Amino acid sequence: MKIAIVCYPTFGGSGVVATELGIALSHRGHEVHFVTYKQPVRLALLNDNIHFHEVNVPDYALFHYQPYELALSSKLVNIVKKHDIDILHVHYAIPHAYAGYMAKMMLKEEGIHIPMVTTLHGTDITLVGSHPFYRPAVAFSINNSDVVTSVSDSLKQDTLRLFDITQEIDVVPNFIDVGASDSSFTDCQRDLMADEGERIITHISNFRKVKRVQDVIEIFHRIQLEVPSKLLMVGEGPEREGAEELVAKLGLEDKVKFLGNSNEIDKILCFSDLFLLPSEAESFGLAALEAMVNRVPVVSSNAGGIPEVNIDGVTGYLSNVGNIAEMALNGIRILGDDTTLEKFKDNAQREAGRFDIHKVVPLYEELYERVLVAQ
Ligand code: GMT
């Protein structure tokens, strides 16, 4: 099949999932065309089956806001025609599903019928999409997609609750390449990050408010009083400065390292003992799954779709959002002795296998085939 994938190219979960899906589809013989405003961060290699098309939006002084949707839908029309695309798969409803629908309608005028699959990722529904500013357009684009998928059952329920949805929603969970992560990296340089006898705790996110990075620091503050440990903070975003201030206020500067964005999170997770994800909302929690596949147990909130990934008492623990004290106690329970830690590590990696790429990508292929037959 020839598939055009529309996504955000940045370090966000939806962009990562879209990119990994495109790469996996290309390995399975499909021709994949990424359409976005910058080359996706995880798309290092372009090959015969992977193409990247940049959407350009020239600055024009009259426009206070440059019309990205217009440029994207025009680009999609041109690419579908030029490359004979079979399917449009848009990740993140805003504005991709809207632009995709417009492209579909323009192509229809020319007698070209192209189905659109929309994958909902989370904030496009829970934080941004349900705002009255956007809600009618988001509901319209969802209802006019040929297939709609959500990355967890929790997100499906949120979508049905927040919008007037007439379209069926298929749950296709996020995935991970279980075979690709090898926690026995020869260059797993633990000693660069922590002293002998110390545990390593990690948090990875885009440091937006919804991630509650201040909670991460507070939880670590309590854990390190009981268990000698270091905290690695990976990512960039608006809450980083506040987090650094809190680290200074708590006198933790020599125990907390801010590493910025990383393209090599496996190299950090390979020596991590615990992952903290106290998010306010999380449709799935891809970062938790990436930790688990690298044998890192997860102490998290029970928000949204996280319980579908992190199993309470097995791969880590779940607490109510903001319950810092309980999350710290759970962290101490896991890190307190080697036998318990090893058990949680084994469980985390085993349960990550439920989301193996080889199980999930065929689900998307089935949906593509279903929609093509229905055309
Ligand atoms: O919150 C993020 O980390 C970014 C955000 C995005 O829009 O890319 O992630 C969302 O999609 C990910 C991939 O499906 C999910 O794993 C995240 O849970 C989800 N984030 C939220 O729902 C807050």
pLDDT at 181: 65
pLDDT at 183: 53
Pocket of ligand 1 (CB under 6 A): 12-14, 17, 92, 121-123, 151, 174, 205-206, 210, 281-286
Q: Which of 7, 286, 355 to mutate to test the pocket of ligand 1 (most atoms within 8 A of CB)?
A: 286
Position 40 confidence tier, pLDDT thresholds 50, 70, 90: confident
Average pLDDT value over all residues in the chain: 94
The superfamily CATH assigns to domain 190-355 is Glycogen Phosphorylase B; (3.40.50.2000)
Atom of ligand 1 nearest to the CA of 126: 22
pLDDT at 11: 65
- Which of 87, 292, 293 shows the shortest CA–CA distance to 180? 293
pLDDT at 288: 98
Q: What is the pLDDT of residues 214-255, one digit of tens each?
A: 999 999 999 999 999 999 999 999 999 999 999 999 999 999
Atom of ligand 1 nearest to the CA of 284: 18
Q: Give 256 Cα–ligand 1 centroid separation in angstroms.
A: 25
Q: Give 283 Cα–ligand 1 centroid separation in angstroms.
A: 6
Q: CB–CB of 116/270 below 8 Å?
A: no
The reported pTM is 0.93
Q: What is the pLDDT of residues 346-369, one digit of tens each?
A: 999 999 999 999 999 999 999 999
CATH of domain 2-175+356-374: 3.40.50.2000
Name 117's bridge partners: 89, 147
pLDDT at 89: 98
> What residues does each domain of the chain span?
2-175+356-374, 190-355
Q: Give 258 Cα–ligand 1 centroid separation in angstroms.
A: 21
Is pLDDT at 129 greater than 80 in this prediction? no
Q: Give 181 Cα–ligand 1 centroid separation in angstroms.
A: 21
Q: Do domains 2-175+356-374 and 190-355 have the same CATH topology?
A: yes
Q: Give 123 Cα–ligand 1 centroid separation in angstroms.
A: 6
Q: Give 197 Cα–ligand 1 centroid separation in angstroms.
A: 34
Q: Cα–Cα–Cα angle for 71, 93, 300, nearest 5°?
A: 135
> Average pLDDT for residues 84-111, to the nearest whole number?
96
Cα–Cα distance for residue pair 207/339, rounded to 1 Å: 33
The answer, yes or no, to whether ipTM is higher than 0.85 is: yes
- Which of 99, 148, 104, 105 shows the shortest CA–CA distance to 125? 148
For residue 118, what is the DSSP state? E
Instruction: Supply the residue whose CA is at minimum distance from atom 23 of ligand 1.
Output: 282
CA 65 remoteness from chain centre: 27
> Average pLDDT for residues 190-200, to the nearest whole number?
90
pLDDT at 126: 82
Backbone angles phi, psi at 242, to 5 degrees: -60, -40
Is pLDDT at 12 greater than 80 in this prediction? no
Q: Give 26 Cα–ligand 1 centroid separation in angstroms.
A: 24
Burial of 328 (0-12, 13-18, 19+ CB in 10 A): buried
Position 127 confidence tier, pLDDT thresholds 50, 70, 90: confident
Position 309 confidence tier, pLDDT thresholds 50, 70, 90: very high
For residue 295, what is the DSSP state? T
Cα–Cα distance for residue pair 53/25, rounded to 1 Å: 17
Atom of ligand 1 nearest to the CA of 92: 7
Atom of ligand 1 nearest to the CA of 15: 8
